[in-house]
Structure 1
Amino acid sequence: MRYKILGVAQTEDHGTVVTPGGPRLRALLAALALRPGQVVTPDTLIDEVWADAPPQDAPGALQALVGRLRRTVGKDAVASAPGGYRLAATRDDVDLYVFERLVRHGTDALDRGDAETAARHLDEALGLWRGPALADLAGHAARPEALHLEATRARVEAGLRLGDAHDAVPRLYELTAAHPYDEPLRALLIRALRAAGRDADALAAYEDTRRTLAEGLGTEPGPALRSLHAELLAAPVPHRPAAPSPRTGNIRPRLTSFVGREAEIDAIRAGLRTARLVTLTGPGGSGKTRLAEEAAAALPQAWLVELAPLDRPEAVPGAVVNALGLRETVLVTSERASVQDDPVASLVEYCASRDLLLVLDNCEHLVGAVARLAETLLTRCPGLTVLATSREPLGVPGEAVRPVEPLAPDQAQRLFAARAAAVRPDADAVLGDEEAVSEICRRLDGLPLAIELAAARLRLLTPREIADRLDDRFRLLTSGSRTVLPRQQT
């Protein structure tokens, strides 16, 4: 038996995962798993299960709760002992302690300079994390959460040493937004931007760090950050790179089938033949990104620009430069900033003589900057076409706006079935409850992201159980693919 407390408390026996019903039952399991093999006193368990509101007969209520837990995990799993109760397990049976051990091995390997071994251990550790840690046991999450952040930093560091700077940058932007005063994370972001050839963004990231620390804490960056800044200022300005060899685009093949919107793809492609700017609009989770990628995938010279990680309007041209494989170089001194290579000018020069399709994804939070850049490029580059996704139109002359509607009921059910087949070998059997599947798709408003997340829960629940729990959908529909951006994981 394995015990999982890096999230909602669960048990796993020979691959079968069980989530005990009821928050107090899960709290009792978590309290015992936190101390595997140790006798835990009734007073401690009562304090942790009921916190400040214990029942009148707390010892009797605890005894009854222990009985329920034994029926869930097995009568021999929770032993009575002089002075309390003991979970018959070792630290190797509890994911929290396995996580701690793997993180320790990973950071030790990193300290030895073995980035490959470090990445392997840290990936295994982070794969155990379902978070938030000890969700059923208030007051014990601080140390695991701090260790999770340490493991995340170490994994990014290992990736940088292995040459994964481009993949690290979007993740680091999100991490620094969540932990704005974490100087080691800020330093990793600056190093990743520099390694990716984005010196201008690295300098901007340092300036943002300096301003954030000054305004929020009244402090200046520490020695490590100041040293990085000095290295950036001292670095020689590279020569303008030669034009890249011809490429056919950067839209990667998808790992899952596309379901339900074949007619819309044809309509978008037809729209791109008559309008040079087409914008797909709709709420978050409606499938704008996937629809745009599918429409562009078969077209020559289609380039995807992911704008979601950006938080500054002035970074938009640089993001397009990077997506196209060009590079922006800026030299900043303490007295003035001297732009050696204007990114907008570089884009105009590159695109003016080429037939290209730019897919500008997730424009809504930078809509003004995206609109200005799109209008500049479209007016000066006759062979350029733009396909944008946004929660609102760009408002550029000549723009064709196509709202992305929710999936029709039959499309939604096809998508649910397709994703169910990926997580359940017996998908056909569980999908026999057509009424529950139809209810899920209807109550989720035909939103593809929500439907995919609901289908992923079939690992643990039946369609009827999912439908019955949709009143708490913001806790149920989580734990999406680890390789997508956090906004697409929930």
Structure 2
Amino acid sequence: MRYRILGVTQVEGEDGTVVPVPGPRLRALLTALALRPGRVTTPGTLIAEVWTDDPPDDAPAALQALVGRLRRTLGKDAVASAPGGYRLTATEHDVDLHVFEDLVHRGTAALARGDAATAAQVLDEALALWRGPALADLPDRTAAARPDALHLEATRARVDADLRLGRAHTAVPRLRELTAAHPYDEPLHALLIRALRDTGRTADALAAYEATRRALADGLGTDPGPELRALHADLLAAPETHAPPEPPGRPRPPARSGNLRPRLTSFVGREPELDAIRSEVHRARLVTLTGPGGSGKTRLAEEAAAGLPQAWLVELAPLDRPEAVPGAVVSALGLRETVLLTTELTAPQDDPLALLVEYCAPRSELLILDNCEHLIEAAAALAETLLTHCPGLTILATSREPLGVPGESVRPVEPLVPDQARRLFEERASAVRPDADTVLRDRAAVEEICRRLDGLPLA
């Protein structure tokens, strides 16, 4: 006979016909015996596995009666009595669980040797045995943990074999399902990222990494492991390595290196704040400078980004509609011109958010979202979407209030201290008044003006 316990317990006769095993208790007893084919199992163990925490009053007698029923169902020689308990008269080759374990070990060993074709064949044979959930008739699911883990290992290995055989396109949909079912399984997520990379979908691979990073951080409070981090570094370092070749004659978008305006005036004071913001931008992916109007948030943000090759200023102050925010970023990045001049971007031109995700996902850039306060919800939604899908992107925002996005680092911009305010007043006065030296001799008056203006640079 053949015993199937990778699912609801079944028995097949020598001719392949199914032998009915009626009743959950009877199937539980057969499952417990089939876990140990050819070996004696004590009555205590069988009682615990069949009835768990609710055994009958005379459990040994109830077990003996159940064994009698099983013998009448399968044949009197199917279950043997032995000193110390009962034994299923079968070998491991007669039980699908043990055959499955052997096939999985052989398949994973072939994969480790680099023989992906053999691994795929053997693992297909193993997975065909799975009718899951394993040991479905045992009331206690503890014993099912090992076969369940082995099934997941076999599934991973089978997908890995597909990737090595150049079948990444067929693997992606299955991996999407698997990673959704196992959100914290890093090896599965690594396989999905590899599959997306191997199909030339670098942006999607980066987005998958970022989604995994956030899931691990939010759900477990941990960072991705070495394999995921190595994949991420590979994608950022050379995303073009895995992209499909471009058609001949395809135009490349013009090289752009940010849009920060040249400063027309000197930057006075705030040296400690400047150093702190630059340091924070390297640690956090969203930094928001908050403070009242005229406190110098925009200038401080621009100064902190000065010298960075890919820093883009997006001015939100002129906007009066929340839905215009993504389009303003598209315009600041010059993407409308890129779409018109080239075929690099495939996202619909009427979907600015999709265009931004496609463009920014494989790049490392800094966006300055300036004056977010009157469109705070739209700015926050845009920032969260871009940071989720574009792992190389950093956002430096200015606003009178925080955006409220997870992971945001908020840095209040305080008024200038008296000495800084006086220096700024003197420099600006000297730029517009030829006789400024005479005026500035009245230091007490200058200090009083700065005090009455609350140390606000714009004032």
TM-score tier, shorter chain, comes to 0.5 to 0.7
Give the letter aligned to residue 241 of structure 1.
P
Q: Deviations over 1:313-372 (max 9, x none)?
A: xxx969xxxxxxxxx7865233359xxxxxxxxxxxxxxxxxxxxxxxxxxxxxxxxxxx
State the 1:242 CA deviation: 6.1
* Residue among 197, 202, 211 paired with 2:200: 197
Give the 5 Å matches for 1:288-307.
none
Equivalent in the alignment of 1:187: 190
**Secondary structure, aligned partner of 2:131:** coil
2:9 maps to 1:9: yes
Q: Deviations over 1:183-230 (max 9, x none)?
A: 111100000001111111101001101111111111111111111111
Taking the aligned partners of 2:229 and 2:81, their CA distance within structure 1 comes to: 58
Equivalent in the alignment of 2:234: 231
Equivalent in the alignment of 1:23: 24
Give the 5 Å matches for 1:357-396.
none
Q: Deviations over 1:239-297 (max 9, x none)?
A: 64369xxxxxxxxxxxxxxxxxxxxxxxxxxxxxxxxxxxxxxxxxxxxxxxxxxxxxx
**Secondary structure, aligned partner of 2:72:** helix
**Secondary structure, aligned partner of 2:143:** coil
8 Å contact kept, 1:233–1:331: no
Taking the aligned partners of 1:170 and 1:19, their CA distance within structure 2 comes to: 37
Give the 5 Å matches for 1:214-225.
214-225=217-228
Equivalent in the alignment of 1:102: 103
Equivalent in the alignment of 2:160: 157
Report the more deviating stretch, 228-237 or 209-218: 228-237
8 Å contact kept, 2:202–2:239: no
Q: Deviations over 1:419-458 (max 9, x none)?
A: xxxxxxxxxxxxxxxxxxxxxxxxxxxxxxxxxxxxxxxx
Equivalent in the alignment of 1:487: none
Give the letter aligned to residue 169 of structure 2.
H
Q: 1:236 to 1:54 in 2, by over 3 A?
A: closer
Equivalent in the alignment of 2:66: 65
8 Å contact kept, 1:27–1:136: yes
Q: 1:125 to 1:336 in 2, by over 3 A?
A: farther
Taking the aligned partners of 1:3 and 1:148, their CA distance within structure 2 comes to: 18
Equivalent in the alignment of 2:77: 76
Identity %: 74
Taking the aligned partners of 1:197 and 1:87, their CA distance within structure 2 comes to: 53
State the 1:19 CA deviation: 4.1
2:176 maps to 1:146: no
8 Å contact kept, 2:207–2:361: no
**Secondary structure, aligned partner of 2:11:** strand
Taking the aligned partners of 2:359 and 2:33, their CA distance within structure 1 comes to: 56
Equivalent in the alignment of 1:40: 41
Q: 1:35 to 1:108 in 2, by over 3 A?
A: same
Unaligned ranges ≥5, structure 2: 250-345, 349-357, 368-459
* Residue among 219, 242, 247 paired with 1:241: 247
Equivalent in the alignment of 1:332: 362
Number of corresponding residues: 257
Q: Which has the larger radius of gyration?
A: 2
Give the 5 Å matches for 1:390-409.
none
**Secondary structure, aligned partner of 1:129:** coil
**Secondary structure, aligned partner of 2:365:** coil
**Secondary structure, aligned partner of 1:7:** coil
State the 1:6 CA deviation: 0.6
8 Å contact kept, 2:202–2:362: no
Taking the aligned partners of 2:126 and 2:248, their CA distance within structure 1 comes to: 42
Give the letter aligned to residue 170 of structure 1.
P
Unaligned ranges ≥5, structure 1: 244-315, 319-327, 338-490
State the 1:48 CA deviation: 1.0
Taking the aligned partners of 1:116 and 1:156, their CA distance within structure 2 comes to: 12
2:149 maps to 1:119: no
8 Å contact kept, 2:239–2:362: no
Taking the aligned partners of 1:196 and 1:91, their CA distance within structure 2 comes to: 42
Equivalent in the alignment of 1:416: none
2:176 maps to 1:170: no
Q: Give me the TM-score of the superposition, normalised by structure 1.
A: 0.50
8 Å contact kept, 1:77–1:87: yes
